[in-house]
Chain A
């Protein structure tokens, strides 16, 4: 169950990488830090509603707080993603900048989010308030907490929703169209920037959701929490086949399973080394990732 839970976090974040990459061919290296910002936003919204941490707050019940915090966090986090797109990526795109410069910009944007957070809130860690009464369910020899089930179900629901949007709706078709030939999109009467903003909204709100669920599972927040998990989710997306939604889910869960599997047998210090070695092996056998197809880039 731990594997599934960790896999869910990786998968939710990997979805954001894969969406933006699938549409713009841009590796949004700031995405892991958007996840971190999501966790912090969740923290502030929750504290504001619940009270505590030296703030009087509105004194709402934990259940109601949770019900408001989830959508509020997703909306606010997606605004952060859209702000990055508007202020950093779009101007470069307008000037026809080479992809390398956009990727470097994304890296810098991520560092700015981390260090901005550090400057604003200091290095001290925040502890996330408990919003959900812990319940343990036991099925035979397996026992799980309600939170773990929620995390896993959330990841699967998000997957189904995104798969539907991308394959069945017109806006999803436009997203796929952009990935093939973005200059032909306006010829269809479609506003290019609107579709790109929509993509960032989807990806960032998933990161926000991952942020709040992660904060509930591991209630210690610090500015660099997004860096490592972001890198891991990115690698999971690549191993699954970046640009492919199923790939992000499979890659995320795969990484979760490998990590937990390694820890079950070896000392936990070997976890990342082993996990990445296995992923490297997969890429060695199939360089385009599990679901990836060799792409002939058009432009």
Chain B
């Protein structure tokens, strides 16, 4: 398997506060990898560093490198990371455009695509098959959607941008358990079709049951790593993150 994303000794700062103290991890093509850890461990910071959202939210990389297929992406403008590398981020809090309709949100994500009308139409159908609720609410302003539907829209939007690598920041947050399982089942389907997934979760149990491999992040450092089975069996991880 080829390495898709490689983060090497990444040190990141917010203002004067160092938030990541040199973390390294990688994601291989076709894998589901999860970063778990408590609130404030640096999980979201890691994703924002990869996507380099514009200020004031951008964490500043002061050391280390982020490679995509072996190429450093530290100097790419944020929109190119999405459009040229086919990466997508489903951010914390979903960040859908509430003033646009469901359909407009999805259409907006196709902005930079150059593969033509037919391919886009096919992806619309795919998203509406995966998430039938979105098809029903196509013309509705998206801020009127429920939390679960908004999460579907956020993932649907990522799919419309034609990503082959999707990063999700706490997709289970605020979802009822049933919807949460639905969402993870859908993500499994996408992975089976070849989508690489990097998942950030506070719910370590859920994340490790879903992912192939995982890394445990604690106050800006990686303190454990391994396959999901290894981590689920690790007494330290069990004690700190899995509730005994």
Contact = CB atoms under 8 A, between A and B. Distances in A.
Interface of A: 94-96, 170, 173-174, 176-177, 179-192, 298
Nearest to B142: A180
B35 interface: no
A190 B111 CA distance: 7
A187 B111 contact: no
B107 A180 contact: no
B157 to A, nearest CB: 7
A182 B57 CA distance: 11
Contacts of B51: 186-187
A173 B100 contact: yes
B242 interface: no
A191 B77 CA distance: 8
Contacts of A191: 77, 79
B78 A96 contact: no
Given A173-B100, A184-B91, A189 B109 contact: yes
Contacts of B78: 186-187
Contacts, number: 81
B108 interface: yes
Interface in B120-135: none
Interface residues of B, number: 31
Contact of A180 (B77, B80, B99, B109): B99
Contact of B97 (A95, A181, A186, A192): A181
Contact of A95 (B55, B57, B88, B161): B55
A181 B79 contact: no
A199 to B, nearest CB: 15
Contacts of A184: 91, 95-97
B55 A189 contact: no
B82 A183 contact: no
Contacts of A94: 54-55
A189 B53 contact: no
Interface residues of B, dominant DSSP: loop
B177 interface: no
B98 A298 contact: yes
Interface residues of A, dominant DSSP: helix
Interface in B26-55: 51, 53-55
Contact of B79 (A176, A189, A298): A189
A173 B106 CA distance: 11
A19 B70 CA distance: 42
Contacts of B56: 96
Given A95-B55, A173-B100, A179-B99, A190 B108 contact: yes
A173 B51 CA distance: 22
A183 B57 CA distance: 8
Nearest to A187: B89
B111 A186 contact: no
Nearest to B158: A187
A141 B112 CA distance: 55
Nearest to A178: B97
A186 B100 contact: no
A188 B111 CA distance: 7
Given A179-B99, A184-B91, A189 B112 contact: yes
Pairs of residues from A and B, 3 with the lowest C-beta to C-beta distance, nearest first: A189-B83, A96-B56, A189-B112
Given A176-B97, A187-B91, 12 more contacts: A96-B56, A170-B107, A170-B108, A173-B108, A176-B100, A181-B95, A183-B53, A183-B57, A186-B53, A186-B54, A186-B78, A189-B83
Nearest to B109: A188
B221 interface: no
B133 to A, nearest CB: 21
Contacts of B79: 185-186, 188-192
B161 A188 contact: yes
